[in-house]
A = this chain, B = another copy of it.
Amino acid sequence: MSQPVDSAVSAVRTYVEQHRATFLDDLAEWLRIPSVSARPDHAADVRRSADWLAAALTATGFPTTEIWTTPGAPAVYAEWPSPDPGAPTVLVYGHHDVQPAAREDGWHSEPFEPVVRDNRMYARGAADDKGQVFFHTLGVRAHLATTGRTAPAVHLKLLIEGEEESGSPHFRDLVERHADRLAADVVIVSDTGMWSEDTPTVCTGMRGLAECEIRLHGPDQDIHSGSFGGAVPNPATAVARLVAALHDEHARVAIPGFYDDVVELTDRERELFAELPFDEREWLRAASSHATGGEAGYSTLERVWARPTAEVNGIGGGYQGPGSKTIIPSSAMVKLSFRLVAGQDPGRIEKAVRDWVAGQIPDGIRCEIAFSPATRPCLTPLDHPALESVARAMGRAFGTPVRFTREGGSGPAADLQDVLGAPVLFLGISVPSDGWHAPDEKVELDLLLKGAEASAHLWNDLAEHWRHVP
């Protein structure tokens, strides 16, 4: 069943190239479905996206394909057993929902009408995460075609959820409910990126995420800033002061207890980060930003990969239209998100935030605070043996050894680790310039196909090097 590496590499590559056009047409069809899970008015689209994927997985050859409903958006589950009962079981995780997007946010083409320009496909979800889910369908077909198999070398399972972009509120329940079906030796998460086109990497962990909306209420209605200004508390001012107090002068989060459980970076990890070919100007370009800045004592990579944050995602209150309106607004709100790192517990962070906010509210202002369901941080030990399979599969696809990174974003991978007791590994081909959550999100088509190649190699490698241990 094992082939010489070079011939396997070129066989997989040839297969993937031959099926490139159909694969991209199918992906574009999926991307046309605006499966925005954060918007209740798109609920039907998220369901349509799940149905589309289930049909595509059936067409790929998965003998079992199911829609798993939740109180929110549905997930898609598929499995394809190996004929070898002792083969390891691999669970692939991804998501089929996407971030909100509108042409007027600054897109150069319709976000839900994919276009290919310069060998890139532009669409909301092209990289995050439909593209990276979909390369596995081409990967498994390449694996079968190039090895002459009719079923994969591993017991293959896919769980593609529909609420990742709204904080996966029902994901842990779903995983707990279906823990028997989902049982796996290893989890492969395809919802991360790599360093760059030239430096393929494997991610070893993601940050967690706690999100809240804080609304401060002042006057019962908007009131005249001339008649009353200067003599009553203004909720827009209060919300601004709250945000200003979030960080201290070292740009550290000023909420008491926020850093209590943080697992600090080891010297070895800081060395690995420092060895990466980091170019601040390039990074800033990918960030569309004009300066770096953040917690004192840490590099940019350390800040985004291994340090917790508090960021304002939205702020609003009073009159925002054209012209002016001389009011003291009745209320103002801020949406905050906290990225969490290994060791931090979302429940403890929520309590710390609530306690801190309660102490910041001035007389005459009433505070409402609501947390969305949180996502735990997650970290794969650098010395885990299964990481070698992923690194080799990526290395074969890219023709070069891979390096190791972390990911600043968040995913529900930690719930899979918790519930299933399986190590979580990351296989992703997105690059920082892909513009996740931003206008003009895109995926590099060459990398997308490398992802399919890596997927094809991975199932063989895991079957050879990783046996099911009951």
Contact = CB atoms under 8 A, between A and B. Distances in A.
Contacts of A304: 227-231
B314 A325 contact: yes
A329 B334 CA distance: 12
Contacts of A281: none
A39 B229 contact: no
A382 interface: no
A244 B362 CA distance: 13
B313 A166 contact: no
A320 interface: yes
A438 B327 contact: yes
A56 to B, nearest CB: 27
Nearest to A326: B337
Given A236-B312, A316-B320, A332-B315, A225 B289 contact: no
Interface stretch (A117-125, A144-152, A403-411): A403-411
Interface string A23-61: 000000000000001111000000000000000000000
Max count, chain B CB within 10 A of own CB: residue among A325, A330, A363: A325
B322 A38 contact: yes
A373 to B, nearest CB: 10
Interface residues of A, number: 103
Interface in A266-311: 284, 287-295, 300, 303-304, 307-309, 311
A63 B259 CA distance: 78
Contacts of A242: 240
23 contacts: A167-B324, A218-B290, A221-B439, A222-B438, A222-B439, A223-B438, A225-B337, A229-B309, A229-B337, A230-B311, A231-B292, A232-B291, A233-B293, A234-B311, A236-B314, A240-B240, A240-B243, A240-B334, A293-B362, A315-B318, A316-B317, A318-B335, A325-B437
